Structure 1
Amino acid sequence: ALRSIGKLSFEQASSYFSYIIMIGVVLVILYAIQIWYRDWFGESKYIYRLLLLPGGRAKIFFAKWTSLALVIISFIGLQWVVIQLSYVIFNWLIKDDYRESSSLGLSMTLKQLYTMSLVDLLIFIVLSLFIVSFLFMLVLLERSYRNAKGMLFIVLEVAFLLLVTIGSMYVIEKLDIFLSQEISAIMMAIFVLYFVYMIWKSLRLLKWKISV
């Protein structure tokens, strides 16, 4: 068996973690939508109490936004703890003669996620919060306009995001006058500007369009 198949590595044994990550991503996306709609639906209509609280409505938005940030960070930390414990169990169950290496080897997906670099971790969290903010904006658009008009605005926002992303890449590629560092800086600037736009748009909808 060792000659035909080879020794077992932790990278092979931990490949299923990628599917757990996908499940976690789906759960975060569903929670980002449910955290708003749960206040509208139900017997208590809790959203009306929130909207009537003294102070700015921006507190409601950032309270939900912060809770999603904590969920994402907690999920990453929990996943890393589970990987470390799984590595200990792997070394305990599999004899040295049957293990390919004693080092903590991860699959390609996990290596990209768990680089143990603070910069990479912050980039991953920011990208996750970008998606959360985009979902928040779509939910608030639907709640502000409702029915067909709300769906139309959602389609327009999705189309606008695709247009900005694909259009920017197309223009940069056609011009072919920028260095790689300059291209990265331009895309980062577009990313930051759209991120700010989503937050501003969501706060504006929550303050002026959603009524009690």
Structure 2
Amino acid sequence: MKLFGKLVHFEFRRFLPIYLSLLAVVLLIQAAGVVIYSSIMKSEITDNVIKHGMSKEQYLQDYGYISIGDILTSSMFTLPIIIAAVTIFIYILFIWYRDWLGKNTFIYRLLMLPVKRIQLFFSKAAAILLFVFGLVAFQIVILPVLQTILKWIIPVDYRLDLTIQGILRSFDYFKILLPEHFGDFIVHYGFGTAFVIVLFTMILIERSYRFKGVFIAAFYGIAGLVIVFSPYILQSAMKGYFYENELVWMQFAAAVVFSVISIFFSNHLLNRKIRV
């Protein structure tokens, strides 16, 4: 377990400079979005209330209170989240290939470590999950900071301050990233973990069989999709027999089964087939 922890720390440290830069980009773009939106709204308040003599009550009746929730659906808020998600997705691929493509074929040194090779697989997957959880936690932590920026610009009479729970409920993406129910949390991140495991297995297939492995990996990925979506195929054949939540849990069970198969297959590839 100690060696596994070192492997996870090693993978985390390799991506840390890019990861910290990614967090800084998320903060800067979202803060800029809050400043721009708040400045525009303050100009509207000034124009309507001060210049044209509209009463505060009339303004609020026509336009409503201004809150951080109004900004959550803007491109300035969602764009850095998309950038972060795409960056982590790219790193899911890069986390393996950098070991093959780097100087002195670094994967050879990793495979010669006195640990079970499957631990390399799990350490990389654990590092990816840490990055995802860290990004979600960072986004939640900076929400009060973003709301404070809005407070500095928008007068209190025209502002609606939200609690953290209120902010989370007003943004649909947070319902996916941080579900209210534990069962939904397990399902959402279970699917995400299954995706990482299967993608890792596809990479190992390609690395084991090279050109031929590209087609085998593609077939493996398609087979995984068919298995995961098989409950909906069954639902269509049985003409809507299952409830929606039952289909989700059936999908989740299928994803878990295919993930376990992928882990055993990856272990076989790492021990018997992988080529440096």
Please report the TM-score for the alignment, with normalisation by the length of structure 1: 0.86
Q: Deviations over 1:39-97 (max 9, x none)?
A: 11122211111112223211211111111111111111111112222122222321123
- Structure whose residues are more often helix by fraction: 2
Amino acid at match of 2:120: I
Residue in structure 2 matched with residue 41 of structure 1 by the alignment? 101
Q: Which residue of 2 aligns with 1:144?
A: 208
Shift of 1:37: 0.8
2:260 aligned with 1:196: yes
Deviation per residue, 1:82-131 (Å, 9 max, x gap): 222212222232112322x2224332223443445555444433332222
Q: Which runs of 5+ in 2 are unaligned?
A: 1-43, 45-58
**Residue identity matched to 1:193:** V
2:233 maps to a residue whose letter is Y
Percent identity over paired residues: 29
**Aligned equivalent of 1:32, options 92, 102, 114:** 92
Aligned equivalents of 2:203, 2:109: Cα separation in 1: 19
CA distance in 2, matches of 1:21, 1:120: 21
CA RMSD of aligned residues (A): 2.4
Residue matched to 2:227: 164
Whichever of the two has the greater Rg, that structure is 2
Q: What is the alpha-carbon distance in structure 2 between the residues aligned to residue 206 and residue 14 of structure 1?
A: 44
Which residues of structure 1 form unaligned runs of 5+?
none
**Aligned pairs, number:** 210
- Deviating more after overlay: 32-41 vs 192-201: 192-201
CA distance in 1, matches of 2:275, 2:156: 66
Higher RCO, 1 or 2 (CA under 8 Å, sep at least 6)? 1
Structure 1: distance between partners of 2:245 and 2:91: 36
Q: Which residue of 2 aligns with 1:210?
A: 274
Cα deviation code 1:116-152 (max 9, x no counterpart): 55554444333322222122112111101112x1111
Cα contact 1:142–1:151 (8 A) shared by 2: yes
Measure, in 1, the Cα distance between the counterparts of 2:201 and 2:116: 18
